[in-house]
C-alpha cells in the first residue's frame, strides 16, 4: 500500500456518487480525495475538465484531482494513486503506484512503472516496465514470488519488460502511455516466442 497520512483540514473522501464518506463509519472504504477551502474557479478555456475537477458537495466547493485513498482509523487515509492510471483486472482495481512501491523493494530494481495491458480473460493485465540496477537480472516468476509477501495475487504483474531506462520526462514525471506501449510490445514479443504445443 501507499503511505498513510492524516487528512488535513478541509479535505474529505468522496464515494462514487460524490457524497462525503464519514471517516469513523467507513474505515476500509476506498474513495476519491477532495480538498476544500481556497479552490480555483476552473481551468482556463476547459469547461469539461473544470466541471470534472471542481465540484460542489453539500454547498461547499472542492477540488477533486483524481487521487484515490482508503479510509483508515484516526482520521487517516492510505494513498492509493491516481484513478486515471488504475488497472481494472477481472473486476478488481489495481493502483499502479502501490505495485510500483512494492517492486522497488526488490534489490534488482532501480526504477519501474506499472500499467494495464489488454487481456482477453481479465480485461486488463498488470504489466511492469522495469529498469534494473547494474549487474542484476530479474525474471517474471522471481518478481512474482517476491511480491506475494507484499501484494494480493490479483495485483501481481503478469508481464515484465526490462528496459535500459523507464520512460520519464525531463522532470522525472512518469510517462505512462509510453510505458504501456513498451509493455504491450514486450508482451507481444514474448508471446510470439512461446511454442503453443508446450503451453
Under the banding of pLDDT at 50, 70 and 90, the label for residue 188 is: confident
Under the banding of pLDDT at 50, 70 and 90, the label for residue 192 is: low
Domain 86-192 fold is GMP Synthetase; Chain A, domain 3 (3.30.300)
Residue 39 to residues 32, 34, 45, 102: CA-CA distances in angstroms? 16, 10, 17, 34
Domain 4-83 in CATH 2.30.38.10? The answer is yes
130 pLDDT above the threshold of 50: yes
In the chain, CATH 3.30.300.30 covers 86-192
Share the mean pLDDT of the chain.
91
Tell me the mean pLDDT in the region 169-194: 85
Q: How far apart are CA 195 and CA 26, in angstroms?
A: 49
Amino acid at each position: 500500500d501507499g503511505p498513510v497520512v492524516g487528512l488535513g483540514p478541509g479535505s474529505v473522501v468522496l464515494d462514487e456518487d460524490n457524497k462525503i464518506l464519514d471517516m469513523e463509519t467507513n474505515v476500509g472504504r476506498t474513495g476519491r480525495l477532495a480538498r476544500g477551502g481556497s479552490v480555483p474557479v476552473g481551468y482556463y478555456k476547459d469547461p469539461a475538465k473544470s466541471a470534472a475537477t471542481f465540484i460542489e458537495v453539500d454547498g461547499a466547493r472542492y477540488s477533486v484531482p483524481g487521487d484515490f485513498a482508503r479510509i483508515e482509523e484516526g482520521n487517516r487515509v492510505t494513498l492509493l494513486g491516481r484513478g486515471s492510471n488504475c488497472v481494472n483486472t477481472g473486476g478488481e482495481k489495481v493502483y499502479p503506484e502501490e505495485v510500483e512501491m512494492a517492486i522497488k523493494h526488490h534489490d534488482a530494481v532501480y526504477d519501474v512503472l506499472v500499467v494495464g495491458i489488454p487481456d482477453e480473460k481479465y480485461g486488463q493485465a498488470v504489466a511492469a516496465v522495469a529498469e534494473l540496477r547494474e549487474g542484476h537480472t530479474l525474471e517474471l516468476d522471481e518478481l512474482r514470488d517476491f511480491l506475494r509477501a507484499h501484494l494480493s495475487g490479483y495485483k501481481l504483474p503478469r508481464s515484465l519488460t526490462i528496459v535500459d531506462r523507464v520512460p520519464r520526462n525531463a522532470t522525472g514525471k512518469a510517462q505512462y502511455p509510453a510505458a504501456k506501449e513498451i509493455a504491450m510490445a514486450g508482451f507481444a514479443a514474448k508471446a510470439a516466442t512461446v511454442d503453443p504445443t508446450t503451453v
